[in-house]
Amino acid sequence: MSSLAAIRVIAFPGAPNLPVFAALEHGDFAAEGVSVSLQTTPSSVYQIEKFHAGEFDIAFTAFDNIVAYHEGMGAVPLDASDFRVIMGATQVELSAITQPDIKSADHLRGKTLALDAVGTGFAFVLYAMLAKLGLSQEDYERIPVGATPERWKSVKDGVHAGTITIEPFTSLAVSAGFNVLCKSTDTFSAYQGGIVAARQGWAKQNAEAVTGFIRGYLKGLAWTRAPENRAAGAALLQAKMPEIKPGVVDAVMNSLLSPRSGLTPRADILRDGMQTVLDLRSRYGAKGKVLHGIDKYLDLSFYQRAVAG
- pLDDT above 90: percentage of residues in the chain: 89
Q: What average pLDDT does the chain have?
A: 95
Q: Name all domains of the chain by residue range, CATH numbers in brackets.
A: 5-91+192-308 (3.40.190.10), 95-187 (3.40.190.10)
pLDDT band at 245 (very low <50, low <70, confident <90, very high): confident
Residue 81 has pLDDT above 90, yes or no: no
The pLDDT assigned to 260 comes to 87
Mean pLDDT across 8-12 = 97
The pLDDT assigned to 1 comes to 41
Distance CA 196, CA 206 (A): 16
Mean pLDDT across 57-81 = 91
Mean pLDDT across 65-89 = 91
Mean pLDDT across 216-245 = 96
The pLDDT assigned to 97 comes to 98
Residue 66 has pLDDT above 60, yes or no: yes
The pLDDT tens digits of the residues spanning 168-179 come to: 999 999 999 999
The pLDDT assigned to 2 comes to 61
The pLDDT tens digits of the residues spanning 127-166 come to: 999 999 999 999 999 999 999 999 999 999 999 999 999 9
